[in-house]
Copies of this chain bind each other. A is one copy, B any other.
Amino acid sequence: MLDKVETEDLKDLMADMGRRARAAGQVLGLAPTEQKNAALREMAKAVRASATDILTGNARDIEAMKANGQTAAFLDRGTLDISRIEAIAQALEAIVELPDPVGGVLAAWDRPNGLKIERVRTPLGIIGVIYESRPNVTADAGALCLKAGNAVILRGGSDTINSNRALHAALRQGLKAAGLPEDAIQVVPVTDRAAVGEMLQGLNGNLDVIVPRGGKSLVARVQADARVPVFAHLEGLVHIYVDKAADVEKAAAIVVNSKLRRTGICGALETLLVNREVAQSHLPAILKALQDAGCEVRGDATVQAIGEGIVAATEEDWRTEYLDKILAVKVVADQAEAMAHIAEYGSGHTDCILTEDAKAAALFLATVDSAIVLHNASTQFADGGEFGMGAEIGIATGRMHARGPVGVEQLTSFKYQVRGEGQTRS
């Protein structure tokens, strides 16, 4: 329970966590599904039984956060109560229901010489999760990694260190009760920021991927400095393009839902692009629906001429992920201009076309280089749960390994299993 340690001690501590994670991962990678599920159930039980300890730890964190003058929103994210603890336990139980990806056969084929080749899912290895002050991530991320057979090293925000420690104690109880190594889920026990630096360096090969969960500055730092692969998105600068063949009623409903259902999530709409041919016919209804729902609209000159009370959009607006009740709106000459705008300003997260023209939709879905491309549906569906993938550890915009929602399947690798009957190569 150290809050500050010497540099060399910290290096040793982190290196040791990496080694213990690798050893635990080797056991975990071979653990049968039922044993992992038993651990998840035992973890849920232990979380419920430890509610008092968890709330006590959380109370200490809240006190410190208040003393540090944190915002109300920050405090809310960091606060636990009995119903949030129950939600954490239920989330653990929900992961029991997900299919175990490990051992799944991704492809199988026979060769003319009789060799039987299978591409089989394996755990990815050791996952590092660096997150800000949401204690539930401790349980959610730990459980998701466990289900995929991975060991995990969790480094939560220092503001919730006591909550995380108490939750972690419950997770360890669950692992122990199911006969799995307690080191399968480790929490960095110090708040020293240098621990993050050690993780970014890869713990001497004992960290295979890092998942940052938090604000843009955290993700940017991890992406810039990590020497190991990162599953993340920097931001969700999400576009909808209203094509000339868009249905106006669908468009208004989808735009309002995409922007306003929840403004703070990465799949929330940030920029609306409207084909000039339907600006007069479609924009009034869309703008009215947005403004009636309390959304500020910032538009180019054409949008300002069509609507009322529209703030003039600047170059900066096309680059801004508001995460708020504000929408930037631009009229474009055609679909090509819309796609060029998305290529220049988009973040490769989620983009959408609204059209009744199947060809225009197909061109958009093929061309726009984003993890998720939608046709005639709300961008708020950009979510592992909505995709039917179960819980997700985040959404990735990189092109390597995992792209889009990162669920239990994306936390796996694979190997080739080749079975012969004595074949030699000529």
Residues of A within 8 A of B (CB): 26, 29-30, 103, 109, 111, 115, 117, 122, 124-125, 208-209, 229, 247, 250, 253-254, 256-258, 261, 343, 361, 365-367, 369-378, 380-381, 386-388, 399-401, 403-404, 413-425
Closest to A363 in B: B30
A381-B115, A404-B415 known; A422 vs B253 contact (CB < 8 Å): yes
**Residues A377 and B253 in contact, CB atoms below 8 Å apart:** no
Closest to A374 in B: B418
Closest 4 A/B residue pairs (Cβ): A377-B420, A257-B424, A399-B413, A250-B422
Query: How many protomers of this protein does the assembly include?
Result: 2
A369 contacts across to B, CB distance below 8 A: 26, 29, 122, 415
**Residues B115 and A422 in contact, CB atoms below 8 Å apart:** no
Beyond A377-B419, A400-B400, 10 additional contacts (C-beta under 8 Å) are: A111-B387, A258-B424, A261-B425, A365-B417, A365-B419, A374-B420, A376-B422, A378-B423, A386-B425, A403-B416
Closest-CB distance, A21 to chain B (whole angstroms): 14
A-B contact pairs, 14 of them (CB 8 A): A208-B399, A209-B400, A229-B229, A253-B422, A254-B422, A261-B424, A369-B415, A373-B415, A374-B418, A377-B423, A378-B420, A380-B424, A404-B415, A404-B416
Give CA–CA (A377, B416) in the complex, Å: 13
A423-B378, A423-B381 known; A416 vs B373 contact (CB < 8 Å): yes
Give CA–CA (A373, B378) in the complex, Å: 45
Give CA–CA (A386, B117) in the complex, Å: 10
- Please pick, from B109, B370, B415, B419, the residue contacting A375 in the complex, using a CB distance under 8 A: B419
A378 contacts across to B, CB distance below 8 A: 420, 423-425
**Residues B261 and A421 in contact, CB atoms below 8 Å apart:** no
A343 contacts across to B, CB distance below 8 A: 26
Give CA–CA (A187, B381) in the complex, Å: 42
A366-B103, A422-B253 known; A413 vs B387 contact (CB < 8 Å): no
Give CA–CA (A380, B115) in the complex, Å: 13
Closest-CB distance, A252 to chain B (whole angstroms): 10
Give CA–CA (A117, B375) in the complex, Å: 10
A250 contacts across to B, CB distance below 8 A: 422
Give CA–CA (A385, B424) in the complex, Å: 15
**Residues A415 and B388 in contact, CB atoms below 8 Å apart:** no
Give CA–CA (A367, B257) in the complex, Å: 48
**Residues A111 and B422 in contact, CB atoms below 8 Å apart:** no
A258 contacts across to B, CB distance below 8 A: 424
Give CA–CA (A417, B365) in the complex, Å: 6
A254 contacts across to B, CB distance below 8 A: 422, 424
Give CA–CA (A399, B108) in the complex, Å: 19
A377-B419, A420-B374 known; A403 vs B399 contact (CB < 8 Å): no
**Residues A380 and B425 in contact, CB atoms below 8 Å apart:** yes
- Please pick, from B115, B387, B418, the residue contacting A373 in the complex, using a CB distance under 8 A: B418
The CB with the most chain B CB atoms within 10 A, among A26, A365, A399, A404, is that of A399
